[in-house]
Amino acid sequence: MIENARSINIAASILLIIGMVYIVGPIYLTLSTASQSYEFMLRNGLAWYPGDQLFTNFGKIITDTRIPIQMLNSLIVAVSDALATCVLSFLSAYAIVYFRIRWAGVVFALILATIMLPLDIRVITTYQVASNIFSPLNAVLDVTGLNELIAKVFGAPLHLELSVLNTHFGLVAPLVAHGTGTFLFRQFFLTMPKDLFKAARMDGAGPIRFLFDILLPLARSSVASLFVLTFLSGWTQYLWPLVGASTPDMQTAVVGLARLVPDADGQIPDFPMIMAGAVLVSLIPLSMIALLQRYLVQGLVLSEK
């Protein structure tokens, strides 16, 4: 018996149209508002039809705000975060899967624990460490009593201090401490033939050559997908750049957009300029998705092709 799928197709089409309106509607409202003037918004509110002030508002963003330098900061943070995450995740998953490590399961469990403890939860402790990266060492010296011995020998206890706040390294390093990439690469490596590593060794390929000549080319789709996802996460990160950067020239673009809203009570924000800034800030991640979307889909399905 052949079922009549016409009603199902109609219902699916209606749901698809509703979903498209739900997604495209805010984007259209953003573009239409960005193309209007501040005076138009004061008279009419948010615009539901496009105007002719889009490039004028772009010019205001470029000349009157710190968004351009903040976009450069976002680019540095996002690219550095993506590269560091891909390299560390690839190497850690490679070691866990292809080397006989006694405590590999425990190490992998600890890496997965970072997924359940995202940066937003541990932001206070992260700030304490970033304000002085030697604070753990100082704590160990105090707990073990070594500082008392040092004070007796040298006359004063040892106290090291180095802050990485308000630096690009300080913005990037906490974002890299995440186990998602290691989990993705480990799952991908487990789908590959188990005898691949042994066959490579029989052909004279050592661990380094196997890594670069065999494993890395096979995993290029997974690497590209992780790079895109990590880049987008670093680009849209808000809480840690807000806490870790104290000057406008070191803050990221997402924080800069939030700063465009005036703090004074009763003052109406310049929504056309803010929307224009949102469009400008979104151009780079959208371009990244458009260029690497094929690798993104292939990597997410963890295919060996």
pLDDT tens for the chain, residues 1 to 305: 455 577 888 888 899 999 998 988 888 888 898 898 888 888 887 778 888 888 999 999 999 899 999 999 999 999 999 999 999 999 999 988 888 878 888 888 888 888 888 888 888 989 999 999 988 888 888 888 888 888 888 888 888 889 999 999 999 999 998 888 898 898 888 888 878 888 888 888 888 888 888 888 888 888 888 898 899 999 999 999 999 998 989 999 999 998 888 876 777 888 899 999 999 999 999 888 888 777 776 666 554 44
Instruction: Tell which CATH architecture fits domain 66-300.
Output: Orthogonal Bundle (1.10)
So where are the chain's domains? 1-64, 66-300
Rg (CA), the chain: 25
CA–CA gap between residue 152 and residue 247 (Å, rounded): 42
CA–CA gap between residue 180 and residue 111 (Å, rounded): 8
